Amino acid sequence: MAIDRQLSANDSTSRPVTDQLLESQRWLEKNTRDILDESDEILHVRFQLVYTVGLQRHLEDHPDRWTTVQQVFMLVKKLIPQVHEKFPFGVEVQIGQSATFPFIRILMSDASAYLVSLVARHILNGALPNYTLGQLDSQMRDAVLSFITELQVPHAVAQQVQNYCGDSALWKGLLLLRGLLAHGILVYVLKEWHWRVDYGLDQRRSMLAVPYRAKDMPALRAEFGHPDVAVALTCLSYYYGGLQEHQIDLCFALLYKLDNPTVEYETWTQGCDDVPESLRQLNGVNLRSPEQRQQHLLPLFRRNVAVINFFLSHVVFPKEAKEFPQKQVASGWDIAEKKDHVTTGFSGTNDNRYLLPTSITQRDPPHQLCTNAKVLNYLLRPENSSYICAQDVHGERLSVQKFLELLVQQEPEIRVLLDVGAEMLELQNEALVARWLELNQNAQAAVYFGDNDRLMVLTRAGTVESFVSSPFNQQLDQCLLYLDDAHTRGTDVKLPRDVRAAVTLGPKVTKDRLVQGWFIPFPPISVAHMYSGCMRMRKLGNGHSVMFFAPLEIDRSIRKAAKKTESDAVKIIDILRWVMLETCSDIQHRAHQWADQGFDHGNRASAWSEFCGGKISSDGLASSWLQREAKSLEEMYGLNPPREHPAFEIAELKQKCMQLGLCHCRRLGWTKSRRGKLITRWNAKSKSRGRRKRKRRPIAFTVTSKHSFRLGLYPLP
């Protein structure tokens, strides 16, 4: 707050308050000590606190900025069957009704390259309504193709394309296409981001897609930092999830306001085979008929891509697709910065130690150094060696129904399902355990997490009750237990002896995530107590065992890491090798962010020190603390020459980057190698200058901390 007031104080009336806050900030820095619980999470590089500054404005080149993305997705819808036919194992496709968008996940680089090539050639053939490119001569056609598909383009080729476009909107459109294709944004959103696991909608706060921290759990106050990625993921979220009833009503209300609504309505019904003849024309629609709404309109248009694109381009993006000119940023480096008193953190894991701020160091007590090895040793026991690649006879991913049928066939019986890989997406938790109970006739109830984030029990009679008050909380030997991805850490369920668990593997499963998932049914414990806690509570190696399940794409990754053929058996050591490689890949992937945050924090800390010493003014402070938020298409996707990251000028940052294998770290953040930096999970709080909340009467505080700490009692409000 003190820094914010220094940057925004423009008149003498606010100067006394600003000076008082500055003195308070200095006093806190000299007299306080920070203690961080779960420091590995607090200091994780993926978290940033962003305060946006200034007035919102529309994205450059709107509305083409989002309608072009929609049109590219329509090309993907048309071309993905060709990609799947040529690379059946390179892309996962679930095709629904004719007017819906297929569920797509790219699995192999060959498939993604082929898709980009097909999309680019169709664009040059005039398949994109926003831009007329079908009339280009052969020389210009080759130049444009190179410009929108190749990251490294000769300057002469780019200049040729820019001269041809002149000052028209075509140049900005080609820059956007270059971002989608050459910079890999299209492939990135279809390959690296898993719907309902990594991203989705949170209608309570935004109509745009937001990052998820686990299956069906939006990250609080998080937003995507890259505008075109946010637009693309928003499109996919609505394509996959469909529209709600009130959103369809809004589409019809806006449709009737158009000058020629019948033409737009024809695009809604075009290519939709299930539309009855009576609804082929707009005059056949009667929104006041409950029967027509429920039986025809909602089923037909809920996932219709034409209707969804209409809703996105008329409602969502005009309102939400905006950006701010500047921002203030803070990260874990600010929390762990050097102060007069030492900062101490506590953590149950140490995998994140390679990406800690340089001002803080991981220190494991000598008697705990063997903890990780002991945990892995328990997992390597023979009873945990069972593994199945969960696929059907055609090599396709199993549905949740088929997976549960496979689960109940296992011997010894499996009573616990830990969805570490977030593979159970088709059914909500209650529906999943209900189906599991139907298949498993030995269990009398199932325990799961409900929508309210509380443990619930579903009995065989169909009764749903709280786990705390249920008699089954003392009869877990008669229960099934399902824990989704979000709850595979920190859940207190004490399982009986001889329980066997199934663990799913999925994309981006690191060693910490896998091991934490294996320890899940017990309270969070420190490293010092992990070994005894597992032996006492989990009975690892003394009754409890685990079995692993992986989809085909993960099975291939495991075999590739182990250098095994399809006929070789996958062992637990192969799985552990794979998750360790995934951990290394994740660390290296985030190292660019780490370098960015370290360099930015160094600049801000230096400016703050000079400001407190009277060496620079508030304007000088602002030059380091206020960063540009909005960037033009030219800056993002143009041919700006990459330059070495300034972090390499700082010895300790350069040394760590070299240790992590980053021999060349570029500052220009819009290249394919830097996608992870662009799409970050931000804890964002929007703030515009000049807007102030109404004054509130402060609560009268009393000093009760010593009393509370001594007696363990806290006064109720």
Comparison of pLDDT for 516 and 79, the residue scoring more: 79
Q: Are 280 and 52 in contact (CB under 8 A)?
A: no
Given a cut of 70, whether residue 48 has pLDDT beyond it is yes
Region of poorest pLDDT, from 294-298, 346-350, 456-460, 563-567:
346-350
Q: Is the residue at 712 inside a domain?
A: no
Kindly state whether residues 508 and 555 are assigned to the same domain.
yes
List, for residues 157-210, the tens digit of each pLDDT value. 999 999 999 878 999 999 999 999 999 999 999 999 999 999 999 999 899 999
Please compute the mean of the pLDDT values over residues 644-652 and round it to a whole number: 75
Kindly state whether residues 537 and 397 are assigned to the same domain.
yes
Q: Give the Cα separation of 194 and 189 in Å (integer).
A: 8
pLDDT of residue 376: 85
Q: Give the Cα separation of 103 and 95 in Å (integer).
A: 7
Q: Are 43 and 343 in contact (CB under 8 A)?
A: no
pLDDT of residue 642: 61
Structure tokens belonging to residue 321: 């697709």
Please compute the mean of the pLDDT values over residues 20-32 and round it to a whole number: 87
Find the angle CA(170)-CA(172)-CA(174) to the nearest 5 degrees: 70
pLDDT of residue 621: 85
Structure tokens belonging to residue 580: 């360790």
Given a cut of 80, whether residue 454 has pLDDT beyond it is yes
List, for residues 342-394, the tens digit of each pLDDT value. 999 988 778 888 899 999 988 888 887 887 888 888 888 989 999 999 998 88
Q: Is the residue at 560 inside a domain?
A: yes
For residue 336, what pLDDT band results from cuts at 50, 70 and 90? very high
- Whole-model pTM? 0.86
Cis peptide bond upstream of 521, omega within 30: no
Kindly state whether residues 436 and 290 are assigned to the same domain.
no
**Which range marks the domain in which residue 403 is found?**
369-570
Kindly state whether residues 177 and 273 are assigned to the same domain.
no
Please compute the mean of the pLDDT values over residues 647-658 and round it to a whole number: 81
Strands 416-418, 500-504: pairing kind: parallel
Q: Give the Cα separation of 228 and 145 in Å (integer).
A: 20
Strands 627-628, 681-686: pairing kind: unpaired
Kindly state whether residues 234 and 154 are assigned to the same domain.
yes
Tell me which DSSP letter residue 316 carries: I
Structure tokens belonging to residue 106: 């790219």
Given a cut of 90, whether residue 675 has pLDDT beyond it is no
Cross-strand partners of 547:
502
Phi, psi dihedrals of residue 210, rounded to the nearest 5°: -130, 160
Q: Is the residue at 665 inside a domain?
A: no
Residue 213 parent element (H or E):
strand 206-214
Q: What percent of the chain has pLDDT over 90?
A: 55
CA atoms within 13 A on the CB side of 594: 26
Q: Are 442 and 413 in contact (CB under 8 A)?
A: yes
Alpha carbon of 282 to those of 71, 268, 270, 273, 567: distances in Å? 24, 10, 13, 16, 58
Kindly state whether residues 229 and 253 are assigned to the same domain.
no
Angle 552-562/572-612 helices, nearest 10 degrees? 90
Given a cut of 70, whether residue 624 has pLDDT beyond it is yes
Comparison of pLDDT for 465 and 686, the residue scoring more: 465
**Count: domains in the chain:** 4
Strands 217-218, 206-214: pairing kind: antiparallel
Q: Is the residue at 527 inside a domain?
A: yes
Q: Is the residue at 349 inside a domain?
A: no
Q: Give the Cα separation of 705 and 509 in Å (integer).
A: 41
Given a cut of 80, whether residue 110 has pLDDT beyond it is yes
Phi, psi dihedrals of residue 8, rounded to the nearest 5°: -110, -5
Type of residue found at 326: Q
Q: Is the residue at 564 inside a domain?
A: yes
Report the chain's mean pLDDT, rounded to a whole number. 85
Kindly state whether residues 293 and 387 are assigned to the same domain.
no
- Look at residues 552, 570, 588 and tell me which one is the last residue of a structural domain: 570
Residue among 98, 93, 99 at smallest CA distance from 111 = 93
Kindly state whether residues 218 and 312 are assigned to the same domain.
yes
For residue 608, what pLDDT band results from cuts at 50, 70 and 90? confident
Given a cut of 80, whether residue 7 has pLDDT beyond it is no
Residue among 210, 185, 214 at smallest CA distance from 683 = 210
Kindly state whether residues 533 and 489 are assigned to the same domain.
yes
For residue 641, what pLDDT band results from cuts at 50, 70 and 90? low
Please compute the mean of the pLDDT values over residues 493-516 and round it to a whole number: 88
For residue 576, what pLDDT band results from cuts at 50, 70 and 90? very high
Dihedral sign, Cα of residue 603, residue 609, residue 613, residue 614: positive
List, for residues 288-310, the tens digit of each pLDDT value. 999 999 999 999 999 999 999 99
Given a cut of 90, whether residue 616 has pLDDT beyond it is no
Comparison of pLDDT for 596 and 2, the residue scoring more: 596
Given a cut of 50, whether residue 466 has pLDDT beyond it is yes
Q: How many CB atoms lie within 10 A of CB 294?
A: 11
Given a cut of 50, whether residue 437 has pLDDT beyond it is yes
